[in-house]
A = this chain, B = another copy of it.
Amino acid sequence: MKRRNTQSKQEILNVLKESGKALSHDMIQSEIPSKTDRATIYRVLNRFCDDGITHRIVGDDGKQYFALCLDCSQKKHKHNHFHFRCIECGKVECLENEITVPLPEGYVSQSFNGLISGLCKDCSKL
């Protein structure tokens, strides 16, 4: 099944690129120029994740956020970094440091989700 180049796809990609942050579905919806259906946005984002273009972050608000994969080679994704979600402005960012968590004997890691929420640089000043 070959992927096609559609307008929604391009627009969503642009928004993600320009923001440089992790965005939730509704943030994306409100920032893309053309009106696009909710379901479509979700489908595009899920395809991006399948294709290794974005990675998915589940916030402590229970919502999904999507961020571009930057330093990931196609084959081996490295996403063992924390994300920071600002409870004031809603911004979700990737933190630099890669983290390794020791797992007990016999445990097999499959996905990593590290999230800290609080106030970001801008919002903590107010």
**What residues make up the interface of A, taking CB atoms closer than 8 Å to B?**
58-64, 82, 84, 87, 95-97, 99, 101-121, 124-125
Docked Cα-Cα span, A116 to B87, in Å, equals: 23
Known: A58-B58, A101-B116, A106-B121. 16 other contacts (CB 8 A): A60-B113, A62-B64, A82-B101, A96-B104, A99-B99, A106-B120, A107-B118, A107-B119, A107-B120, A108-B119, A110-B118, A110-B119, A111-B118, A112-B116, A113-B117, A114-B115
Shortest Cβ distance from residue A69 to the other chain B in the assembled complex, whole angstroms: 17
A sample of 7 cross-chain residue pairs with beta-carbon separation below 8 angstroms, ordered by A number, consists of A58-B61, A60-B111, A101-B114, A101-B116, A104-B121, A107-B118, A114-B114
Chain multiplicity (copies): 2
Shortest Cβ distance from residue A49 to the other chain B in the assembled complex, whole angstroms: 12
Would A121 and B101 count as touching, CB distance under 8 A?
Answer: no
Residues of B within 8 A of A60 (CB): 58, 111, 113
The residue of chain B having its C-beta at the shortest distance from the C-beta of A83 within the complex is: B113
Would B124 and A117 count as touching, CB distance under 8 A?
Answer: no
Residues of B within 8 A of A106 (CB): 120-121, 124-125
